[in-house]
Amino acid sequence: MQKEAKEFFNTRFHEQPVNGSALAGFRQQGLDMFNKLGIPAVKHEEWKYTRVNALFNNDLTYNLDASGISKAELDSFRLPQTANATSLVLVNGVYSPELSDIKHSVKDLLVLPLETAAAGEYGAIVKKHLGHSAAYHPDGIHALNTAFTHGGIFILGKSNRVITEPVYIYHITDSRSGFAFAQPRILAYAEQQCELQLVEYYGTIGNEGSFTNEVIEIVAEAASVLDYYKIQHEGPHANHVGTTHVRQLGKCLTNAVTISLSGGLIRNNLNMIMESERGESHMYGLYLLNGKTHVDNHTIVDNVQPNCFSNELYKGIMDEKSTGVFNGKIFVRQDAQKTNAYQSNKNILLGDASSVNTKPQLEIFADDVKCSHGCTIGRLDEEALFYLRTRGISEKNAQSLMLHAFAVDILENIKPQALKVFVDHIISERLDFNF
């Protein structure tokens, strides 16, 4: 299989349109890495619990063309109450300016095709930051995205601008004519003192199944505030591997919230690279799973410089036959003295056939640090359930009340109100929570 996939992608590599050769070398490096590393099998330590190679057994339809989706089809995926916000649409991983709608002023926000940005005035920035995440993911999947960096987007938040409305990025995959494969690539850059919010949302049309292999790299300059939200709510045939790579270049604040509500096989990599002193970052995750959904959250906090603070909280509820995976690594380099890094992962197993694998890791090379991680796997607190029942609340309602409370903890960190309401609505419905 691996060999077939290799042949398939090598053939496709030479077929991809070459509009803008600024990224040709970058892509070639990606292909070389892909050929060298191959598709990770379960023997690969970082893929121990997630059999991603099975996805490559499908007869992939790899369509590098953004046409074929109508405005009406797109609208069925739109998040509620976002009519006034900028929406960027990628179809099968390729940016579609026609379907996108940029509401922000160019004084605040600039959106360019990645190839255009690489060839023009932002070429230096693209060159410097595009591909920085590769070192953190020595596997063929990441390299494959690089090899096919095509139709990507460059987003620039201008300095000293507070951009109040979030930028919504829609990834639409068209699986009507076969198992669709898409590889979006995004580079976002928040200049000094810029406040920028990004929301990523995913949708698949058709029932043949899809596999999105995404890389988004985000750079935050000094005094910027960057909020990132990733919301996954797709059908059981939609699969996803995504890397979100955040670099803090100056003392700034970055927040990331990852919500996985449904899907097939999902792998979310989130990297926070604390490259500047006194940076602060918060990472929140919620996975609320049922059916056979498999969600693997892999996070890395790399403390390169001293005096940084990071806090991480991931919570999961697994029902039916679903599987949750959490792998959190806190890395403190030798120079990163006075690092404060906290990590917590809490899981509730509901389903008889559900499971969870968690691996919180600390790798510490500096002595004057405060780092801790904790993880729990268990059921709802029996004493609390009893307490609620002695007040006349039925067992079922007591359970949904508590499950909702467990999840809400994460939702409270979603700042855009409409988005929070949207997610809460899905969760409440799932948990039969109606109070």
Partner 1 sequence: MLKIKNLHAGIEGKKILNGINLEIKAGEVHAIMGPNGSGKSTLASVLAGRENFEVTGGSVELFDKDLLATSPEDRARAGMFLAFQYPVEIPGVSTTNFIKTAVNECRKYRGQEPLDAVAFLKMMKEKMKLVHIDQSLLSRSLNEGFSGGEKKRNEIFQMAMLEPKLAILDETDSGLDIDALRIVANGVNSYRNGENAFLVVTHYQRLLDYIVPDFVHVLYNGRIVKSGTKDLALELEEKGYDFIKNEVELTLNV
Partner 2 sequence: MYEENENILDQVTSSEYKYGFVSHFETDDAPKGLSEDTVRFISARKNEPAWMLEYRLKAYRHWLTMQEPTWPNVSYPAINYQDIIYYSAPKQKIKANSLDEIDPELRRTFEKLGISLQEQKRLSGVAVDAVIDSISVTTTFKDELGKQGIIFCSMSEAIQEHPELVRKHLGSVVPPTDNFFSALNAAVFSDGSFCYIPEGVRCPMELSTYFRINAANTGQFERTLIVAEPGSYVSYLEGCTAPMRDENQLHAAVVELIALERAEIKYSTVQNWYPGDKEGRGGIYNFVTKRGICAGDYAKISWTQVETGSSITWKYPSVILKGDYSNGEFYSVAVTNNFQQADTGTKMIHLGKNTRSRIVSKGISAGRSNNSYRGLVQVARHASKARNFSQCDSLLLGDKCGAHTFPYIEVKNNTAIVEHEATTSKIGEDQIFYCNQRGIDTETAVALIINGFAKEVMNQLPMEFAVEAQKLLAISLEGSVG
Q: Which residues bind partner 2 (CB under 8 A)?
A: 45, 334, 337, 347, 349-379
Which of partner 2, partner 1, none is residue 383 near (CB under 5 to 8 Å by kind)? partner 1
Count of residues interacting with partner 1 (CB under 8 A): 24
Q: Could you tell me if 154 and 126 are in contact, meaning their C-beta atoms sit under 8 angstroms apart?
A: yes
CB of 430 to partner 1, least distance (A): 16
How far is the C-alpha of 384 from the C-alpha of 398, rounded, in Å? Answer: 9
CB of 395 to partner 1, least distance (A): 7
> Binding to partner 1 (CB under 8 A): which residues in 408-427?
408-409
Closest CB to partner 1 among 361 and 376? 376
Identified binder of partner 1 from the candidate list 4, 32, 164, 386, rule CB under 8 A: 386
Query: What's the token pair of residue 273?
Result: 């690279």
Query: What's the token pair of residue 127?
Result: 């060159």
Which of partner 2, partner 1, none is residue 7 near (CB under 5 to 8 Å by kind)? none
* CA–CA–CA angle 213, 214, 220 (5° rounding): 160
Question: Which segments of 76-119 does DSSP mark as H helices, in order?
Answer: 114-119
CB of 401 to partner 1, least distance (A): 6
Three-state secondary structure call for residue 84: coil
Identified binder of partner 1 from the candidate list 387, 415, 421, 425, rule CB under 8 A: 387
CB of 352 to partner 2, least distance (A): 6
CB of 381 to partner 1, least distance (A): 7
Which of partner 1, partner 2, none is residue 83 near (CB under 5 to 8 Å by kind)? none
Which of partner 1, partner 2, none is residue 184 near (CB under 5 to 8 Å by kind)? none
CB of 383 to partner 1, least distance (A): 5
Q: Cβ neighbours of residue 384 under 8 Å, at least 6 residues apart?
A: 402
Which of partner 2, partner 1, none is residue 397 near (CB under 5 to 8 Å by kind)? partner 1
User: How distant, in Å, are the alpha carbons of 288, 317, 392, 402, 435 from that of 380?
Assistant: 15, 10, 18, 7, 19
Query: What's the token pair of residue 275?
Result: 């490259």
Closest CB to partner 2 among 170 and 331? 331
User: How distant, in Å, are the alpha carbons of 181, 269, 344 from that of 241?
Assistant: 11, 8, 23
CB of 326 to partner 1, least distance (A): 20
How far is the C-alpha of 283 from the C-alpha of 329, rounded, in Å? Answer: 12
Identified binder of partner 1 from the candidate list 9, 406, 419, 427, rule CB under 8 A: 406
Beta-carbon-side half-sphere exposure of residue 155 (alpha carbons within 13 Å): 30
Name the segment binding partner 1 (CB under 8 A); options: 168-176, 366-374, 400-408, 415-423. 400-408
Which of partner 2, partner 1, none is residue 185 near (CB under 5 to 8 Å by kind)? none
CB of 421 to partner 1, least distance (A): 16
How far is the C-alpha of 279 from the C-alpha of 339, rounded, in Å? Answer: 10
Which of partner 2, partner 1, none is residue 28 near (CB under 5 to 8 Å by kind)? none
Closest CA to 110 of 56, 143, 153, 168: 153
Count of other CB atoms within 10 angstroms of residue 199 = 22
How far is the C-alpha of 3 from the C-alpha of 39, rounded, in Å? Answer: 10
Binding residues for partner 1, per CB under 8 A? Answer: 381-384, 386-395, 397-398, 401-402, 404-406, 408-409, 435
